[in-house]
Amino acid sequence: MILATNLCFRTIPTTCTTVKQQKDPPHQLNPVIPTKTKACECFDLHKELIPYEKAWSWQKQIVKQKKSLLQEHEDCPDTLIVLQHNPVYTMGTGSSENYLNFDVKEAPFDVYRTERGGEVTYHGPGQLVMYPIINLRNHKMDLHWYLRTLEEVVIRVLSSTFSIKACRIEGLTGLGPAHGDDFAIVYGNSTYIDRNQKLAAIGVRVSKWITYHGLALNVTTDLTPFSWIVPCGLRDRQVGSIKGLLQEFQSSTQYAEAVKPFPDDYQLIDISYKSLIKEFSEVFNLEIHQKAITVPEFWREDH
């Protein structure tokens, strides 16, 4: 979990340029591993709304392909998918329906129980979802390291792009049931800022050291659907978004000038996306190669 210790906004960029990393980051908990940079294919659908079931099936298909490559002792490169979802609730492998504030038979949106770790969460427009499908043999075969490194990506995005300084709160990370080398990683309690607002959630699965599922960052998300669940099973935490936080501080006298001009929703999504890609690339020491896929092509493929 992450709690901001200091909030200090500078002018927010309104163009989709990559923000340079600060020379002196506020934390060094997860230094980049000094190994040779490896390639990572990236499917960029960050402006698109992709049904959850489609994306979930696509992930499992890619995992299956990577396992086959490993069995053949062939190179198994990393993959990254970034997208938005239509409104949906997802639950982890051991999630409790007690955290649903509605009858599951009369749910406001589709509800999927998945093999990831963690409790129920919501995905919807304005939330950037990042699915790293990576071979931890290429990095570090340590599940806690992987969680901390995903967490580091979000911390750096908040810090380098929006000057939201955050620190970790320990004790809310764990491993779910393991079946051989198949783990559900319980990590729903992720990125927090001032007033304990929850900006992001992390829940992953690792099978034969191949990761899938991932993280979700609330950028311009309508937060109303979160009120119909207990997000990640935490009753004493609020949910927030980058947009909401910026607007709150824009309305204050102290920060009114600092956040002008204020980006619109599309710009804020693009800014956040570029920052996520940049920080993911640096923290995981990967060279990102964009791999084009259009929505019509996506529907035609057997994902």
- Write down the catalytic residue from 40, 42, 76, 232: 232
Torsion of CA 55, 128, 213, 4, to 10 degrees: -170
Distance between CA atoms of residues 277 and 298, nearest Å = 21
CA 24 to chain centroid, in Å, comes to: 24
| Helix, coil or strand: residue 156 | helix
Phi and psi of 37, rounded to 5°?
-65, 135
Distance between CA atoms of residues 183 and 196, nearest Å = 29
The tokens for 281 are 């690339």
Distance between CA atoms of residues 57 and 204, nearest Å = 15
Listed residue (47, 10, 87, 70) closest to 250, CA to CA: 10
Is 232 a residue of the active site? yes
* Residue owning tokens 């409104």: 87
Distance between CA atoms of residues 159 and 198, nearest Å = 15
Q: Provide the pairing of β-strand 200-207 with 192-193.
A: unpaired
The tokens for 217 are 């960052």
Positions marked catalytic: 232
